[in-house]
Amino acid sequence: MTPDRPFRYTHVMRPIALVFAAACSALALAGCADVWNDPYPSADRGKNIFYSAFTERPKHLDPVQSYSENEATFLFQIYEPPLQYDYLKRPYRLIPMSTEALPSVTYLDREGNPLPADANGVAIGFSVYEIRIKPGIRYQPHPAFAVDAAGKPRYLGLTREQVRDKRKLSDFAESGTRELTSDDYIYQIKRLAHPRLHSPAFELLADYVVGLRDLQSRLAKADTDKSAWLDLSQHELSGVERVDQYTFRIKLMGKYPQFVYWLAMPFFAPVPLEADRFFAQPGMSERNLTLDWYPIGTGPYMLTENNPNARMVLERNPNYHGDTYPCEGEAGDRDAGLLADCGKPLPFVDKVVFSLEKETIPYWNKFIQGYYDVSGVGGENFDQAVRFGPQGDARLTDDMQERGMTLVTAVQPTVSYTGFNMLDPVVGGSSERARKLRQAISIAVDQEEYVSIFLSGRGEVAQSPIPPGITGRRGGRDGMNPVVYDWVDGKPRRKAIAEAKRLLAEAGYPNGRDSQTGEPLVIHLDTTGGGVGDKSRVDWYNKQFSKLDIQLVVRSTDYNRFQDKMRKGTAQMFFWGWNADYPDPENFLFLFHGPQAKVKTQGENAANYENPDYDALFERMKNMDEGTERQEIIDRMVRMLQTDAPWLFGYHDVAYVLQHGWMSNRKAGKIIRGNMKYQKVDVSLREKRRAEWNAPIRWPIAVMLGLLAAIIAPAVISYRRRERERAIPDTRTA
Residues 108, 148: Cα–Cα separation, whole Å: 48
Residue 324 burial class via C-beta count within 10 angstroms: exposed 0-12, middle 13-18, buried 19 and up = exposed
Residues 640, 76: Cα–Cα separation, whole Å: 37
| Residue 25 binds another protein, judged by CB under 8 A | no
What is the x/- site pattern for another protein, positions 187-206, by CB under 8 A? Answer: --------xx-x-xxxxx--
Give the torsion through C-alpha atoms of 57, 63, 68, 70, to 10 deg: 40
Residues 27, 40: Cα–Cα separation, whole Å: 19
- Whether 248 and 99 have beta carbons less than 8 Å apart is answered as no
Q: How far is the CB of 34 from another protein (least distance, A)?
A: 10
| Residue 530 binds another protein, judged by CB under 8 A | no
Determine the distance from the C-alpha atom of residue 517 to the mean position of all C-alpha atoms in its chain, rounded to a whole number.
Answer: 49
| Stretch 588-607 residues interacting with another protein (CB under 8 A) | 602, 604
Q: Where are the beta strands (DSSP E) in 485-621?
A: 485-488, 491-494, 522-527, 551-556, 573-579
Residues 210, 250: Cα–Cα separation, whole Å: 8
Nearest CB to another protein, comparing residues 133 and 671: 671
Residues 605, 134: Cα–Cα separation, whole Å: 40
Q: How far is the CB of 26 from another protein (least distance, A)?
A: 9
Which of 45, 47, 68, 282 contacts another protein by CB under 8 A? 68
| Stretch 225-254 residues interacting with another protein (CB under 8 A) | 226
Which of 21, 25, 37, 109 contacts another protein by CB under 8 A? 37
Q: How far is the CB of 267 from another protein (least distance, A)?
A: 11
Nearest CB to another protein, comparing residues 44 and 236: 44
**Full DSSP string of 565-579:** HHHHT--SEEEEEEE
Which of 17, 22, 36, 207 contacts another protein by CB under 8 A? 36
- Whether 607 and 589 have beta carbons less than 8 Å apart is answered as no
| Stretch 644-703 residues interacting with another protein (CB under 8 A) | 694-697, 700-701
Which of 32, 41, 113, 402 contacts another protein by CB under 8 A? 41
| Residue 39 binds another protein, judged by CB under 8 A | yes
| Residue 366 binds another protein, judged by CB under 8 A | yes
| Residue 345 binds another protein, judged by CB under 8 A | no
Nearest CB to another protein, comparing residues 110 and 561: 561
Instruction: Report strand pairing: 680-681 vs 663-664.
Output: antiparallel
Give the torsion through C-alpha atoms of 608, 613, 618, 624, to 10 deg: 180
| Residue 183 binds another protein, judged by CB under 8 A | no
Task: Please provide the distance, in angstroms rounded to a whole number, between the alpha carbons at the two ends of the chain.
Answer: 43
- Integer angstrom CA distances of residue 555 from 50, 153, 473, 604, 605: 44, 60, 34, 22, 21
Nearest CB to another protein, comparing residues 122 and 712: 712
Q: How many residues bind another protein (CB under 8 A)?
A: 67
Determine the distance from the C-alpha atom of residue 71 to the mean position of all C-alpha atoms in its chain, rounded to a whole number.
Answer: 7
Angle at CA 542, nearest 5°, toward 538 and 544? 115
Q: How far is the CB of 636 from another protein (least distance, A)?
A: 27
Q: Which phi and psi angles does 155 have, rounded to 5°?
A: -125, 30
| Residue 352 binds another protein, judged by CB under 8 A | no
Q: How far is the CB of 211 from another protein (least distance, A)?
A: 18
Nearest CB to another protein, comparing residues 560 and 628: 560
Which of 24, 361, 707, 713 contacts another protein by CB under 8 A? 361
| Residue 631 binds another protein, judged by CB under 8 A | no
Q: How far is the CB of 551 from another protein (least distance, A)?
A: 29
Nearest CB to another protein, comparing residues 148 and 286: 286
| Residue 164 binds another protein, judged by CB under 8 A | no
- Which own/partner contact pairs does 714-719 have at CB distance under 8 Å and 24+ positions apart? 716/13
Where along the sequence are the contacts to another protein (CB under 8 A)? 1-2, 4, 7, 9, 11-12, 35-39, 41, 57, 59-60, 67-68, 167, 195-196, 198, 200-204, 226, 285-288, 290, 292-293, 307, 309-310, 355-359, 361-362, 365-366, 368-369, 558, 560, 563, 581, 602, 604, 694-697, 700-701, 714-715, 718-719, 722-723
